[in-house]
Amino acid sequence: MKYYIADTHLCHANIIRLDKRPFKNVDEMEREIIARWNARVQKSDEVYILGDFCWKTADDWRRILPKLNGKKFLIKGNHDLNHMPTDIHNMFEGPVMGIKEIKDGDRTVIMSHYPLLSYKHDYDENVYMLYGHVHCTMEFDAIKEAVKTVTAVNHKAGYDYKGQLYNCWCGYLNYAPATLDEIINNPLTH
């Protein structure tokens, strides 16, 4: 099974207030996210983290990553470690990347920490752009409006833009990784 999640911001105290997260403090947030993650994800499952995993030091990453089930892939976010030590890098499957494309069943999934309005095969209804970064901010509303505009303009120009962008902010996913179908069927993510 494949799962996706973005912007967990573990160890980030201010994010609780900024995102209006339902946690009293970072310790409770960490316990809850780990518990919710492990309740869904089996050791053999793949989890794609779309950036901003952990706010603090390499030691925090070393402490938290082994507690999480699944084969983890990191699509690097702006708040992830700038210089990732080899031992942490080795806790992820494959290279840590800025953008990644995979198959999830018969669907193509393109992942980036940042939303991309124009992405590879954006005309194909079986291609999905998953992202994070904007959480639940006004930027997210602006992106939704931009997708509508790009879709309308391109359609008039004879280009069949599908604009299938989905926000994988953990708050929209009950602070746990979600499947592609769950993300697609969640009205909050698009």
The predicted pLDDT at position 154 comes to 73
Residue 103 burial (CB count, 10 A) = 10
pLDDT score, position 53: 98
Q: Which 8-state DSSP code applies to residue 67? A: G
Question: What residue has token string 């998953």?
Answer: 130
Q: What is the C-alpha to C-alpha distance for residues 85 and 16, in angstroms, rounded to an integer? A: 27
| pLDDT tens figures, 179-189 | 999 999 999 99
Is-contact 67 34, C-beta < 8 A? yes
Q: 44-88 pLDDT, tens per residue?
A: 999 999 999 999 899 999 999 999 999 999 999 999 999 999 999
Longest dimension (CA), the chain: 52
Q: Which two tokens stand for residue 92?
A: 């992820």
Query: For residue 1, what pLDDT is reported?
Result: 98
Mean pLDDT confidence for 126-150: 88
Work out the mean pLDDT of the chain and round it to a whole number: 94
Query: In the chain, what are the domains?
Result: 2-180 (3.60.21.10)
As beta bridge partners, residue 3 has: 47
- Most confident option among 4-13, 136-145, 155-164: 4-13
| Conformational region of residue 122, where left means phi above 0, alpha means psi within -120 to 50, and beta covers everything else | alpha
